[in-house]
Structures are given as structure tokens and as C-alpha cells.
Amino acid sequence: MKILVTGFDPFGGESVNPAYEAVKRLDDNIAGAEIVKVEIPTVFGKSINKLDEAIEKENPDIVICVGQAGGRFDITVERVAINISDASIEDNEGNMPIDEPIFEDGESAYFSQLPIKAMVQKIREGGIPASVSNTAGTYVCNHIMYGLHYLIDKKYQNIKGGFIHVPFLPEQVIDKRATPSMNLNDIVKALTLAIEAVVENKEDIKMPEGKTH
Amino acid sequence: MKILVTGFDPFGGESVNPAYEAVKRLDDNIAGAEIVKVEIPTVFGKSINKLDEAIEKENPDIVICVGQAGGRFDITVERVAINISDASIEDNEGNMPIDEPIFEDGESAYFSQLPIKAMVQKIREGGIPASVSNTAGTYVCNHIMYGLHYLIDKKYQNIKGGFIHVPFLPEQVIDKRATPSMNLNDIVKALTLAIEAVVENKEDIKMPEGKTH
Amino acid sequence: MKILVTGFDPFGGESVNPAYEAVKRLDDNIAGAEIVKVEIPTVFGKSINKLDEAIEKENPDIVICVGQAGGRFDITVERVAINISDASIEDNEGNMPIDEPIFEDGESAYFSQLPIKAMVQKIREGGIPASVSNTAGTYVCNHIMYGLHYLIDKKYQNIKGGFIHVPFLPEQVIDKRATPSMNLNDIVKALTLAIEAVVENKEDIKMPEGKTH
Amino acid sequence: MKILVTGFDPFGGESVNPAYEAVKRLDDNIAGAEIVKVEIPTVFGKSINKLDEAIEKENPDIVICVGQAGGRFDITVERVAINISDASIEDNEGNMPIDEPIFEDGESAYFSQLPIKAMVQKIREGGIPASVSNTAGTYVCNHIMYGLHYLIDKKYQNIKGGFIHVPFLPEQVIDKRATPSMNLNDIVKALTLAIEAVVENKEDIKMPEGKTH
């Protein structure tokens, strides 16, 4: 089994992105699966093209994209991506789309085909807080997650895909008041556990992980 | 123009639901539109049936459902509903669906057709904090919003619909530490302003209101 | 009985201060006590001089100072003021003391002589969230609370004093993300209830209201 | 130079206390100072007796007590301890004092004599978020910090003392929603840096670190 894992480059004034920092530290083999790592630019459109090229080249069985969710307390496995881009800040090439569909001929949303609750449970068993998230936002993270599933839907129907959001690193919150963070080693461990859960679980487990809002 | 506004009954151990408390205090006429108010049970399935009956009976031009989002700081106008129910607590009749689609033949998600950003802007101009939300959760609020749009899609194609989440009332947070709340009069005012924006704006305005995650 | 209630003017870039906005709306008679209201400048030193003049002129039995605590969720009755000024922003006349004692010959701290828990309980019974706070910060709010008790200790030993912090108003948080607020009417009601509790309770009540940190 | 560092045992339903977990992992020599580590029971009264015995036995130059502040985002160096115990939960022997002075003949408050801002700055330079706190609460943490300074005032006048609060560990927040945590290695590193700052700085540095409330 081959798993492609992507992480974004820094954006929004940060000098580091915990997503790719963690991704590049992953072992090359996790639970018997070969891990291929790619850095993706935080740019609307171009990020999806880069992902498409990487899938074409690597022919993976699974694709997991990883992004920074500054302000979140825990590792969040995303459930769904929606067909809209609505930026509150410019991306790394100055784009700032407002309420634009990502693909006119795509579904209104795509649900992850990964075992998201098994991933959350496995991370928690490893002593790291995690939960299912029902929104990946409307910026480049949602964009790449939607793009990934659009590509799967249209071109790569044997692939399964998903997205994981990770918190700020401690060093990123020194000048931010009352903002949670997570150690890089813990993020690497959590991603590793999530990948193990993906390898181990063909079907997702049933456990309540919903949110009232 | 006739606008049907619904609010849920109390759930999750609360003795009051700010949603219907506010809805029932709305004027019967707002910006020239007739306002019809209906209380909806916080019950999977039954809530959608009740809504369907009300639409059938009232034949409104617009339907706005209102629900409680305990823990949120401001009035949130929902952008999208997703085709899944995943309860973390039982509804008012003991149902607790885990990862079940709401309608097998529905879209993966429905976007609100209301001018959500104009609604947010109008509420803010009235001095009340508001924002666009990209998740209505996976409980009965998302369920009714999804159900509303499913009904619109399948049966009532001339109707436009949307969903607004409101915070706890001050009296609800007395025993909850560090939990935001909003005065009932402010919620009523915010809903009134949102309805005015719906009447005044056929198309939504363009302003950045997205979230990075 | 005569009660002097003070509120600060706006500071820190805000155009309004909910403290004096609420104070000036208080009834002139609460629970039989005459209420005298004075606005105090958000300025180190000068605020205490202004307070001293007002006490001299009005000869009150009780003095309650009120200030804004932007970011707090509820009405907080302060337990203690400490003998230090440590400003993170300039006051309204450009002063920014760092780690300076307020009065060299004062106690290290003064505890409020008001029935702080009875005040909290009374506010809660009125449906408004409230709690005891163990820090008034190190800015002008702590400064005036400390100054008040220093004046009581040195000059006005028959007076009892205390301090109440109030949240932002809704209109102040429109541009601030995830920041709690409270309706002005609720703040006025809470202050009124707190004053009633002061009139009604010579001794404080015993109830657990401490914090582990 | 000899530095006595204490950490509390678990309380409040937790199975672990990050304070002593971190303290016991400290090097035996930091910046040339000998480090002596003692576990202290989370018990009113008894904790101060245990501390007194340890000081008597070890004759340290510096005493730093460390406690858990569940819910705080960063390492907080405490500025002041106040002469009151007000418990919201029972201690580990069932005591729950309400509004009782710690020592009748003590000051109303004691300020730490350690270079608290230099400690904060040093921790931040190490990439870990930290700040000065102006309240150690009213539970056993404030109690031991107050007791330490009372002992210094009455018996051990050549000793300097202080208190550091540390966040929950990641494993402690798995079942707590939206609660920050910090990796144990980061806590150990932060305490080490704080101790280095204590050794290096006879006088505290001047930098704004105050809070408006």
C-alpha cells in the first residue's frame, strides 16, 4: 500500500507551517504502508494542480492532506469538504476568491472516505487529543480537500482521501494570547497513528463523535 | 411576501430554547413581509415532517429555521447543511443516529439560498455581533436545515431557505463557566434585522467572511 | 445610606466604556440607598485623586468602582487589589508604569470589605452570570480599587469599598472574533442587584466560589 | 546555589499531576545550581508543613513551587499570593475551607521575589509560551505559594521564593472539550529555563507584562 501525505507551506504571516513540518518527519514506512511526502503551496488552484501531478506520478492508494488550523485545540480529522472558496486573507500568491465554487461540475460537498472515527480513536489511545471536525473552513485547506475528492471522483476512483488539521506549534503562539498549541513530536505521532488507523480499518467504526452545532 | 420562521423546543437538559423564545417574539410583519412562526420538536425525522406540514399549510416564499448554538459568541448565519446525522446526545424522543444520511437521494450538501452575508452585515450594523458559519453541526439543527433544502429541491422549488444559530441566553450560562451568552432582546433584534436583509436583498453582497478552517 | 458608584471613561481604543455607561443609568435610589455617580478618568494617579475628591465631597457610606474587563464572560466582583501597577498599554494620558507600587506605605494587598459572594449570588438570581474574581489585573482598574482601599485605610475608615468588572457591550465585539459581551441593560440590572446585596448584607454569605488557579 | 523545587500530587479527579511529573524529570544541576525535588500533597495545611520540613532539611537558597493550572494555555509565573483559602473542590484529604485566612499574622499578600519577567522571557526565547499571572487562585496552589512566603518572612529571610503554574498534559484533555495542553518535555524545558533565569538574574528585568484585568 502506498500513502501520499501532503502538507502546506507557511501562510498568513507565519514563518512555519506545522502541517508540512510534521509530514516531512513521518517515517517512510508506517504499518507496512509506503509513505510519500509532498509539500503543497498555499495557493488556490495551484495547490490542486500540484496534488494532481503528485497523484499522477506516485499512483497512491490513499491520499491524506494535512493543514494548519491555528486556534484549534486538538488534531481534527475532517469529515467533509464543500464546493466553495471564500478567503478572509490572501493566499501565498495574492488570490482572495470570495464565494466562488471550486469546480462548477463538482458535487456540493464530498465526504472523506477514510475511517475518520477510527483515526480519532487511535490518536486518542496514543494520549493525544483529537476529534472529528465538520468544517475545513473555506480557505485553501477546504479547497485542497475538495479538490482531492473531486480528482478522486473524476479521475482516480480507486483512491481514498481525507484531510487532517493540526494546531499551531508552541513557538507560533508566543505572541498570541490564549491560543492553544501542540508539540511537533505529538503532531508527528498523531499523524502516524492516524495513518495506522487508515491501514488497519477498511470500514469506519461506529462511535458518537457528532456536534450539536 | 410571506416568511415562515421556525424555532426548536428545548433540548440537551436546558429548560428553555432561545431559538423559539426569540422567534415567538418577532413582529407579525417585518419590512412588509408577513411573519408566520412555528415551533419545531428537537427530534430527528419528526422535525422535518413538522416543517413540511407547515410549508404545505402556509405556502411561504421564504423559510428560516432558527436553533440554539450553545457556546457560540455571536449570531451565526449558516452557509451549508450536510447529508449526515451524527448525534452526540439523544434527541427529545431518544433517537441518537450515528453517521446516517438524512435522505439517501439528497445532495451531499445544500447551500443556503438566502443572502447570508447581507444578513450578517445588517445584524452587525444594528450593533450585534454576527458571522457566517460553515457548519451547522451534525445534530437536529443541521438535520432540519438539510431537510428544508431537500424539501425545497424536491417539492417547493420556488422557496428560498436558510438557518440561523443563536447563542445561549444569560440565564442559561449561570452554572456554566466561561460560556458566552446573548440577551433575548438582542437575539430578537438580530433575527428581525436578518429578515429585513432577506427582504431587501435578492442577491447576496460580496464581502470576505470566510474562515481559514 | 449613601453609595458612591464610579465608572471609567473609554480606554484602549474603545469609543465607549460599558462601566460608566451602566453606572450613569443606575437609579438614584436603590433599596433605600441614595446613589451618587461619578465618572473617573482612566489615568494612573489622577483617577485616585478624582475618587478622593468625590469621597470628600459626598461623604458616602459605601464606594463601588466599576470598570471594563474586555474578554470576560460575566459580571465579576473583585476580591482583592494588589499594590502594583504594571501597564501593558498606555493610560489616557500616556502613562505606562511598569512594576511600580501604588503607595509605598500601603499594604501589599487590600481585600474588599463588601459582601462579594452575596453580590454574586444576587446577580445570578436575577438571571445574569456572575462570579468572584481574584485579580483585578495590574492596570487602572486594580489601581483605583487599591487606591480606594488605601484611602479607606488611611482617611475614611468608616467606609466600605469594592470593585466590579463588567464585560464588553455587544457593539464593542463586532470586529473582535470569539469575544463575549453583555447587553447594557443586563449590566445595569446586575449592578443594581449587586448594590441591593450590599445594602441587604452586613456580613458576606458562605458559599464556595474559589478558583483552583 | 541550591534550589528546592516542589510539585503537587494529583488532585481533582486527575490521575497525574503535570507539576510533579515535570519536576521529577529536572536535571540535578541546572546552570550550576543543585536542584532538590520534593513532592507535596495537595492538602491545605499539610502541604505547608511538608514544605517547611523540606526547607529545614535542605537549606536551599531558592524555593520554587510548581502546580497544575488546568485550562491555562501557557506556563504562568505567579506574581503574588493572597492570604485566603477558598476551595471550590475538596483537597486530597477532604478539606474545603471557605474564605479562611492562611495565617492570621501574615501579610494580606506576598509578592514573589524571583525575577518573574526574566523567567517569562527566557521561557519564550526557548520557544514555549509563557506569561506573568496575577492570581494563583484560592486553592492549594495559592496556599503553598502564600505559605512559602510566610515562612520566608518569618523563618527563612535569606531565601527567595516563587510559584509556577503549568498546563494540563495532552493525555489529560482527551475527554475535555476545547481545553489547551502542553507536552511534558516542553514543561520540563520551560521549568529548566525558568530556573536558569533565576540563577542568571539577581534583579528582574523591566518589560511590560501587565494585564488590564
ipTM of the complex: 0.96
Based on the residue annotation, tell me whether A165 is a catalytic residue of this protein.
yes
Q: Which of A68, A134, A141 sits opposite B135 (nearest CB)?
A: A134
Average pLDDT, chain A: 97
Share of chain C above pLDDT 90, in %: 100
Selected residues 84-103 of chain A with any CB under 8 Å from a CB in chain B: 84-89, 96, 98-99
CB D15 within 8 A of CB D171: no
pLDDT in tens, D119-168: 999 999 999 999 999 999 999 999 999 999 999 999 999 999 999 999 99
Catalytic pick among A141, A143, A149, A196 = A141
pLDDT in tens, A123-142: 999 999 999 999 999 999 99
CA distance A201 to A182: 26
Count of B-C CB contacts under 8 Å: 61
Residues forming beta bridges with residue C132, ordered by sequence position? C77
pLDDT in tens, D69-79: 999 999 999 99
Q: Chain D contacts of A122, Cβ < 8 Å? A: none
Residues 6+ apart with CB under 8 A from B157: none
pLDDT of residue A172: 98
How far D6 CA lies from chain A's nearest CA (Å)? 25
Share of chain A above pLDDT 90, in %: 100
Q: With an 8 Å Cβ cutoff, are D82 and C210 in contact? A: no
**Of C96, C99, C209, which to mutate for an interface test with D (greatest number of D Cβ within 10 Å)?**
C99
Q: How confident is the model at residue C140 (pLDDT cuts 50, 70, 90)?
A: very high
- The terminus-to-terminus CA distance of chain C in angstroms comes to 37
Q: With an 8 Å Cβ cutoff, are D79 and C80 in contact? A: no
CB B13 within 8 A of CB B90: no
Average pLDDT, chain C: 97
At D4, give phi and psi (nearest 5°).
-95, 125
Q: Check if A143 contacts B (Cβ < 8 Å).
A: no
CA distance A87 to A70: 15
Share of chain C above pLDDT 70, in %: 100
Among D179, D195, D172, D212, which Cα is nearest to D115's?
D195
Q: With an 8 Å Cβ cutoff, are B213 and A134 in contact? A: no
C-alpha count within 13 angstroms, C-beta hemisphere, residue B211: 19
How far C17 CA lies from chain D's nearest CA (Å)? 14
Q: With an 8 Å Cβ cutoff, are A139 and B80 in contact? A: no
Residues 6+ apart with CB under 8 A from C15: none
pLDDT of residue A80: 98
Q: Chain D contacts of A182, Cβ < 8 Å? A: 170, 181, 183
Q: How confident is the model at residue C32 (pLDDT cuts 50, 70, 90)?
A: very high
Q: Check if A132 contacts D (Cβ < 8 Å).
A: no
Q: Chain C contacts of D88, Cβ < 8 Å? A: 208-212
At A176, give phi and psi (nearest 5°).
-115, 125
Among D88, D204, D73, D208, which Cα is nearest to D142's?
D88
Domains of chain C: 2-200 (3.40.630.20)
Q: How confident is the model at residue A97 (pLDDT cuts 50, 70, 90)?
A: very high
- Work out the angle at residue D182's Cα, subtended by the Cα atoms of residues D179 and D184, and round it to the nearest 5 degrees: 140
Closest residue in A to B209 (Cα) is A88
Q: Beta strands A33-40 and A109-111: pairing type?
A: unpaired
Q: How confident is the model at residue C37 (pLDDT cuts 50, 70, 90)?
A: very high
Count of A-D CB contacts under 8 Å: 61
At C29, give phi and psi (nearest 5°).
-140, 120
pLDDT in tens, C75-106: 999 999 999 999 999 999 999 999 999 999 99
pLDDT of residue C97: 98
Count CB-CB contacts under 10 A for residue B165.
26
The arithmetic mean of pLDDT across residues B41-54, rounded, is 98
CA dist list (Å): B19 to B43, B67, B121, D164: 15, 5, 20, 44
Q: Write down the pTM of the prediction.
A: 0.97
Assigned C-alpha cell, A153: 471522483
CB A112 within 8 A of CB A141: no
CB B8 within 8 A of CB B67: yes
Q: How confident is the model at residue C55 (pLDDT cuts 50, 70, 90)?
A: very high
Q: Which of D74, D129, D179 sits opposite A73 (nearest CB)?
A: D179
Q: With an 8 Å Cβ cutoff, are C129 and B173 in contact? A: yes
Q: Which of B85, B141, B209 sits opposite A213 (nearest CB)?
A: B141
The arithmetic mean of pLDDT across residues B31-39, rounded, is 98
Angle, helices D184-200 vs D116-125, to 10°: value is 130
Average pLDDT, chain D: 97
Among A14, A1, A3, which Cα is nearest to A191's?
A3
The residue assigned the cell 477546504 is A142
Q: With an 8 Å Cβ cutoff, are C12 and D212 in contact? A: yes
CB C175 within 8 A of CB C110: no
Q: Check if C129 contacts B (Cβ < 8 Å).
A: yes
The arithmetic mean of pLDDT across residues B177-188, rounded, is 97
Q: With an 8 Å Cβ cutoff, are B170 and C182 in contact? A: yes
How far C153 CA lies from chain D's nearest CA (Å)? 13
Q: How confident is the model at residue A190 (pLDDT cuts 50, 70, 90)?
A: very high
Among A136, A192, A168, which Cα is nearest to A5's?
A192
C-alpha count within 13 angstroms, C-beta hemisphere, residue C175: 3
The residue assigned the cell 505529538 is A186
Q: With an 8 Å Cβ cutoff, are C128 and B73 in contact? A: no
Closest residue in A to D124 (Cα) is A174
Count CB-CB contacts under 10 A for residue D47.
24
> Chains near D, with 3+ CB pairs < 8 A?
A, C
The arithmetic mean of pLDDT across residues D44-54, rounded, is 98
CA dist list (Å): A136 to A5, A69, A202, B103: 17, 9, 23, 23
